[in-house]
Amino acid sequence: MKTGSWSARQYCALNRNYVTPKLRDLAAALAAHMDKQFPGTVTVQLDANFPFVNGFPLLPHLSHADGKKLDFAYYYKDANGAFLNGATRSPIGYFAFEEPGPGDELPCAGRHDWLTTRWNFDALQPLFPAYRIEEQRTAAAVAWLTTEGVARFGLQKIFIEPHLKNALGITDAHVSFQGCRAARHDDHLHIQVE
């Protein structure tokens, strides 16, 4: 599905892109805002929800079970700093992590939970292109979500790893850490509405 500057990367046949009307409208408004602020920018939607009854889990996600959660790919640039429109680092948009640097906040350091979906996939990381988060667009999207998204669409939460939140200068209370048992969020942006 592709509507203007909003692209859903999942094949519709996988039925992983169902959301409530409020969340659909938020996603379209975010994409329109990003296209207006940065002409031609494509906002890439990742996983949302299955079209089944509320409570049916969209594994491996722990919370995608009611159509009120949606993941977006980060905006990326290449090694030379050129914006890569509509690009993701991995073919499915997940598991290509922005690794924390020396001195970055590591809230899960030293933990060894046996029941977790916080996988590192260390062996896969060298296989992904050397793209980096495009900070200007990513920060602008988060700023819009924490203002217009909250006021107009009832956005409740955004999950981002602490090292990226700090690197992007994000201080809004709607942006938080998802916890050490949930998937890492330095490969995508998770949002949820009321």
Residue with tokens 């299955």: 50
For the stretch 34-71, pLDDT in tens is 999 999 999 998 877 756 666 656 555 556 667 788 88
Q: What is the domain partition of the chain in residue ranges?
A: 2-101+117-193
Domain 2-101+117-193: CATH class, spelled out: alpha beta
Please state the pTM of the whole predicted model.
0.82
pLDDT over 50 (residue 83):
yes
Q: What is the spatial distance between Cα 38 and Cα 85, in angstroms, rounded to a whole number?
A: 11
pLDDT at 8: 47
- What are the backbone dihedrals phi and psi of residue 65, each rounded to the nearest 5 degrees, phi first? -140, 10
Which residues are CB-neighbours of 75 under 8 A, at least 6 positions away?
41, 83, 133, 134, 137, 138, 141
pLDDT over 70 (residue 156):
yes
Peptide bond into 60 cis (omega under 30): yes
Question: Which tokens go with 137?
Answer: 């667009």
Taking alpha carbons only, the member of 71, 84, 56 closest to residue 184 is: 71
